[in-house]
């Protein structure tokens, strides 16, 4: 179910260099949207991709090829070669200077098989070596907006790692840029999808007006201790394949079994995670559901690579969440997910300008981002698709205990499922693992009893869990 494997190896890095656009690009200033520059997006987002050796590709160096492709792609995505500045009222804008992005060439004395034996999933061994944090390079303002490291492996495979300033793009936007690099590495003269800036589409209205309830930005007091800054945090990844998801689903009353796999697993983990934290029953807890706005916001054009998501919150108490059946949590998740309308997004943008671009509440939230349809693993530089493409760390630099990603993954048995990195205080993680294993075992046993006609009423299963 989970992985905590480690592997030690050495990485030799060349000196970092700046890669500039292959052709001259316009100088100017481009404002970010009021969705882009909210406080909680002012961090660096790390992603990592692992590629196998391709025997059909000879005498082609992935480092050289990708570096040249980056320079070509920056001609189209030239704002990435600029620097972020902050103006009046903390408004962010890009100065398109053409200074370039950071690039690191590296070699590692390890094979992909050795890495795969240690499990290619967060937390990754020697991540700081595979995506080196160049001193003084990771500030939000006045620093390169992207850092790319390409590491050759002994077997002929390689690792592509990227760190992106999240205010510039969300996951879809970064994948769009990476896809452009990959296409140009394969010989394309231009990206198949041209980048579109148009950040004003997600700006506040004039005058701004908050028309929706935004529990994700509630300013609440920390009455029972926040878990965001503890030092004893442990990260593990958990795989949910068809067997686990089916067992959980079959424990639900019939009318809830049509829920999506996201709603099912998000509610299940939120409830189990809250139980493991042993909060007071009256403590408020929130589930923040990251919703892609590209399918909901009709005015966003193809090629838009800014942040285009909202995370409406479900609000309840720890007692209500943990003491009620799983269906209670599923209903809350479904309701939060449905709130992310176009009007809701406009209301968020207006709230940003009215309230000074606040951070979402960091007191007892749980955030889930489903990245199964982003296409991270589809990025092909010419060596084929990545055998893993996704977040480099479970929390993606945000706040270590708050966010999980739903990552598409095929396990070593060949089963397609969902990988979920989770970060908790050490004692809570121990409780979580025990609760998860016991809960899944009970679910499978009860489902077997139903299928063997020992239990005739599906409602009995839900009440037994």
Q: Exposed e or buried b for every residue in 394-407, given b needs 16+ CB within 10 A?
A: bbbbbbbbbbbbbb
CB of 249 closer than 8 Å to CB of 262: no
Tokens of 336: 């939060």
Tokens of 7: 């592997």
Query: What Cα–Cα distance (Å) separates residue 53 from each residue in 57, 67, 380?
Result: 8, 18, 13
- Other CB atoms closer than 10 Å to residue 285's CB: what's the count? 24
Contact residues for 108 (Cβ-Cβ < 8 A; gap 6+): 9, 10, 11, 12, 129, 130, 151, 152, 153, 154, 159
CA atoms of 226 and 279, how far apart (whole Å): 11
End-to-end CA, the chain: 20
CB of 134 closer than 8 Å to CB of 15: no
CB of 306 closer than 8 Å to CB of 30: no
CA atoms of 161 and 148, how far apart (whole Å): 6
If we measure between CA atoms, which residue out of 161, 159, 110 comes closest to residue 133? 161
If we measure between CA atoms, which residue out of 393, 266, 71 comes closest to residue 274? 266
Active site residues: 166, 380
CA atoms of 227 and 137, how far apart (whole Å): 28
């Amino acid at each position: 179910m989970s992985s905590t494997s480690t592997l030690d190896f050495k990485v030799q890095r060349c000196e970092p260099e700046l890669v500039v656009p292959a052709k001259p690009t316009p100088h100017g200033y481009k404002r970010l949207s009021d969705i882009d520059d909210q406080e909680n997006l002012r961090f660096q987002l790390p992603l990592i991709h692992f590629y196998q050796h391709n025997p059909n590709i000879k005498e082609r160096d992935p480092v050289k090829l990708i570096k040249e492709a980056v320079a070509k792609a920056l001609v189209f995505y030239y704002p990435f070669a600029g620097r972020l500045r902050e103006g009046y009222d903390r408004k962010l804008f890009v100065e398109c200077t053409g200074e370039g992005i950071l690039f690191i060439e590296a070699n590692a004395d390890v094979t992909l098989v050795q890495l795969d034996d240690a499990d290619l999933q967060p937390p990754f061994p020697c991540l700081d070596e595979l995506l080196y944090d160049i001193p003084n390079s990771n500030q939000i303002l006045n620093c390169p907006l992207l850092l790319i490291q390409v590491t050759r492996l002994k077997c002929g495979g390689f690792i592509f790692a990227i760190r992106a300033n999240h205010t510039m793009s969300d996951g879809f936007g970064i994948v769009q840029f990476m896809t452009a690099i990959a296409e140009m590495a394969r010989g394309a003269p231009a990206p198949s999808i041209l980048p579109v800036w148009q950040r004003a589409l997600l700006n506040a209205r004039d005058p701004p007006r908050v028309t929706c309830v935004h529990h994700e930005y509630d300013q609440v007091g920390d009455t029972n201790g926040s878990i965001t800054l503890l030092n004893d945090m442990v990260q593990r990844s958990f795989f949910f394949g068809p067997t686990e998801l089916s067992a959980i689903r079959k424990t639900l009353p019939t009318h809830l079994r049509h829920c999506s796999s996201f709603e099912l697993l998000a509610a299940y983990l939120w409830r189990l995670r809250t139980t493991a934290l042993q909060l007071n029953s009256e403590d408020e807890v929130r589930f923040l559901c990251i919703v892609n706005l590209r399918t909901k916001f009709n005015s966003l054009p193809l090629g838009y690579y800014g942040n285009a998501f909202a995370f409406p919150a479900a609000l309840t108490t720890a007692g209500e969440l943990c003491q009620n059946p799983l269906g209670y949590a599923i209903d809350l998740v479904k309701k939060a997910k449905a709130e992310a309308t176009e009007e809701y997004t406009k209301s968020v943008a207006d709230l940003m300008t009215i309230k000074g671009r606040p951070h979402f509440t960091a007191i007892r939230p749980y955030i889930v981002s489903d990245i199964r349809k982003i296409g991270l693993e589809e990025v092909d530089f010419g060596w084929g698709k990545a055998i893993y493409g996704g977040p480099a760390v479970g929390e993606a630099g945000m706040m270590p205990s708050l966010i999980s990603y739903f990552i598409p993954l095929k396990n070593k048995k060949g089963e397609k499922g969902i990988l979920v990195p989770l970060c908790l205080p050490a004692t809570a993680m121990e409780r979580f693992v025990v609760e998860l294993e016991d809960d899944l075992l009970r679910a499978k046993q009860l489902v077997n009893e139903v299928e063997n006609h020992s239990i005739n009423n599906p409602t009995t299963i839900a009440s037994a869990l």
